[in-house]
Amino acid sequence: MKNIAAKLVKVMKTCCYIQKQGTNTFHKYKYAMAADVLEKVNAALVENGLATISEPELIDLRDVTTSSGKTEHLATVKTKITIIDSESGETISAVGLGSGQDAGDKAVMKAETASQKYAWMMTLMIATGDDPEADATVDERTADKPKSNKPKTVLEALKDKYRVSDTDFAKLLEKYGDDHEKIKQALDYIQKQKKGTN
């Protein structure tokens, strides 16, 4: 593993940060686009003589109802990426999970793209500027304010129970609207996946 590890260190150095170029106009947040991640990673891999093989596996496909009553398809894909050193033949694997939702036939493709993006981001420790501790709005909301006696909504309670970041919860709201049952199912699934990888 010595040869491939040395090359991966060079790739990690090249890909240590990727600028957020995408914007979610509905929830008003920026994100690193899959195309930017894959372009930068691929260039660094090629430069260091590393080849890759991607093996996507559809692990869940179901119909979901949006808050407006429309039916869409929700796919979850697990992608295994095998990295091969072209000189030594050494290999190492990475795995990523991703979900995609679409009213047409693009749910699986969206999920595949997301799973590849997150496999690379986690494997190469790519920073995009996301840091839960840097969320100043949390400090503003909690500093020197009396606790409210107002009961939490079901969605607020779910967010707190599963300790979901504002950004991740916004993505779930975008997919499922205010359907707390679907959001709870998605959170249960994500939690099980995390436990399975530990």
Query: pTM for the complete prediction?
Result: 0.61
Domain that holds residue 7: 1-130
- Cross-strand bridge partners of residue 62: 74
63 and 105, same domain (yes or no): yes
Question: What region does 108 belong to: left with phi over 0, alpha with psi -120 to 50, or beta?
Answer: alpha
pLDDT tens digits, residue range 19-55? 887 887 777 778 788 889 999 999 999 999 999 999 9
Q: Point out the domain boundary residue: 96, 111, 130.
A: 130
Q: Point out the domain boundary residue: 86, 113, 130.
A: 130
Give the list of residues 6+ apart from residue 163 with CB closer than 8 angstroms, or none: none
What are 141's two structure tokens? Answer: 């909301």
Q: Residue 107: name the closest of 98, 96, 116 by CA.
A: 98
Phi, psi at residue 80, to the nearest 5°? -100, 125
114 and 142, same domain (yes or no): no
Q: What is the mean pLDDT of residues 105-128?
A: 92
